[in-house]
Structure 1
Amino acid sequence: MVTLYGPAPGQPEAQRCGEVGRVAVLSDVNANVPALRAVLEEAGSDGAELFVFTGNLTWGAEPEQTAELVKALGDRAVCLRGNTDRALVDLATATRAPRGPREAWMLNQHSIDTVRLLAGFAFGAVVGVPGLGDVRLCHGSPRSDTELVTPRTPESRFAALAHGMDERTLVTGHTQLQFDRELTGCRSVGPGSIGMPHHIGTPGTAHWAMLGPGVELRRTRYDVSEAARRGVRAGDPSAEIIAWMLHNALTPAEATAEAERLVFSG
């Protein structure tokens, strides 16, 4: 039986935001600071009024630096909970013990203030966007931060995961895939990943989306070699593996097939 990780007890399904003309959606940053800086600069220059981070923000080489960049946005940032954000809070509160050396290392890289930041993330958000209407955003799906939504998710499963959702556009992260898909009665958008996207092409490309008045799937270049070096300097136990993955991403077809095989992961 699959465990669904929805909103925390007492937490609403979604944080409600007013209408915003231009919304930058950044998912799965994974504490990749060079990629995040490049996207923030480009999105800001292109008129982003709100930055929505759809989960898995700090689980990577430089969590404190990542948190500082997000906090500098002030009330222009809305942060949503991903499965790794939830995992870090569970580790920090001793809800569960670290599974392996990297989880123990990751816990030690987060200050108390950053843990509190993660613990305050909403499960989802609804933002009004001219041209799109109300848009629902979350990490995995509206029913679990571990559900994998892809451009090949069967309409029957999509209808089940979106059951009770009034909004006609759903933006989800977690799969690290970038796509824009029309289904019966709904639009499914994946912004892709800032920190480690699945893609075809040159390494060192961060994927994100700009909403308003339509949906723009965006790609921003950054120094991938610097990102790999930062992982080594930080002492990340998985630095070599992550450096290899940054330079050898899964293709969208490979990642989609694996996600649809698993359905839930994390």
Structure 2
Amino acid sequence: MRIALLTDLHANREALEACLAHAHAQNADQFAFTGDLVGYGADPGWVVDTVMDYASRGAVVVQGNHDYFATQPVRPQMHPEAREALEWTRSQLGSSHAAYLAGLPLVAEMDKLMFVHASAHEPAKWEYVKGVEQAERSLRATHARVVFSGHVHAPALYRRADDGRMGKHVPEDDAPIALRPQHQYLVLPGSVGQPRDGNCAACYAIYDDETREVSYFRVPYDHGAAARRVIAAGLPLVFAMRLIEGL
């Protein structure tokens, strides 16, 4: 089974369309969406509808922090631009969209695989896994051999060896990485809808459970069109600039 791993879609229709087309061309036969379907981007309804369609055909979907807060009262301490985007997103979602986002699980498991938006350690705290220490905490919280998550908007791969030692691998585009069965791994595919690693191309990964290989992909898309849609929607300019700059 080849599982396409897509996270942090952030209501970016152009990026999601490009990644889904690329994944189908790579013969992906299962899909997993690890949170943040909405937020920042101009097409929350279309993106949620698309993910719901994939879920109806067996895709794994878990809740991200933007999905959660899109169905909750806006917090007054939230950054003004984030609050503005959240309020706009809520106005664009139908009742079925809101109910779907609110009902998503924080964690999903399949065989020895785990899917979670942030850390497997207390998922509802939305911890950012930005280094080895946080990666180890996430992996120690589960018996899953491979954990797939997102939240950090940049691709990364961490390994916890059978003797407990931690390591980090910097993935390269379209270069399969073999995962050894005696080790535990944390796979962060990067962001489909808002990459922040200096590369504006959309990012996702595919895991092959037969070969135990994970491949990361960068997918160019019309980020200029996506940015213009953000501006046309009246959303803060910073969210359009992120798409153009990849930061």
Q: TM-score range by the shorter chain?
A: 0.7 to 0.9
* C-alpha spacing 1:158/1:102, structure 2 compared with 1 (3 Å): closer
Instruction: Letter of the 2:202 partner, please give it.
Output: A
Instruction: Letter of the 1:196 partner, please give it.
Output: Q
2:109 — aligned with what? Answer: 126
Q: In the aligned structure 2, how far is the partner of 1:177 from the partner of 1:102? A: 21
Q: In the aligned structure 2, how far is the partner of 1:141 from the partner of 1:164? A: 9
Which of 143, 147, 158 is 1:181 aligned to?
158
Instruction: Letter of the 2:51 partner, please give it.
Output: V
Quick one: percent identity of the two aligned structures? 28
Q: In the aligned structure 1, how far is the partner of 2:223 from the partner of 2:158? A: 29
- Stretches of structure 2 that go unaligned for 5 or more consecutive residues are 163-183
1:136 paired with 2:117, answer no
How does the TM-score come out when normalised to structure 1?
A: 0.75
1:70 — aligned with what? Answer: 51
Note if contact 1:126-1:135 (Cα within 8 Å) is conserved in structure 2: yes
Once the two structures are TM-superposed, the CA of residue 245 in structure 1 deviates from its matched residue by: 1.3
Instruction: Letter of the 2:116 partner, please give it.
Output: C
Once the two structures are TM-superposed, the CA of residue 97 in structure 1 deviates from its matched residue by: 6.7
Q: In the aligned structure 1, how far is the partner of 2:185 from the partner of 2:14? A: 31
Aligned residues: 215
Partner of 1:217: helix, strand, or coil? strand
- Stretches of structure 1 that go unaligned for 5 or more consecutive residues are 1-20, 129-133, 251-266
Which of 172, 189, 195 is 2:193 aligned to?
195
1:101 paired with 2:57, answer no
Once the two structures are TM-superposed, the CA of residue 190 in structure 1 deviates from its matched residue by: 0.7
Alignment of 1:22-171 (within 5 A): 22-59=2-39, 60-73=41-54, 74-91=56-73, 100-128=83-111, 134-142=112-120, 143-145=122-124, 146-150=126-130, 152-154=131-133, 157-171=134-148
Q: In the aligned structure 2, how far is the partner of 1:39 from the partner of 1:84? A: 20
Deviation digits for residues 222-247 of structure 1 (CA, Å, limit 9, x no counterpart):
001110111122232x1x11121112
RMSD after superposition:
2.0
Note if contact 2:106-2:123 (Cα within 8 Å) is conserved in structure 1: no
Note if contact 1:62-1:234 (Cα within 8 Å) is conserved in structure 2: no
Partner of 1:44: helix, strand, or coil? helix
Q: In the aligned structure 2, how far is the partner of 1:178 from the partner of 1:159? A: 17
Q: In the aligned structure 1, how far is the partner of 2:29 from the partner of 2:77? A: 38
Instruction: Letter of the 2:8 partner, please give it.
Output: D
Deviation digits for residues 11-70 of structure 1 (CA, Å, limit 9, x no counterpart):
xxxxxxxxxx01101000000000000111111122212211111002231111111222
1:206 paired with 2:202, answer yes
* C-alpha spacing 1:30/1:184, structure 2 compared with 1 (3 Å): same
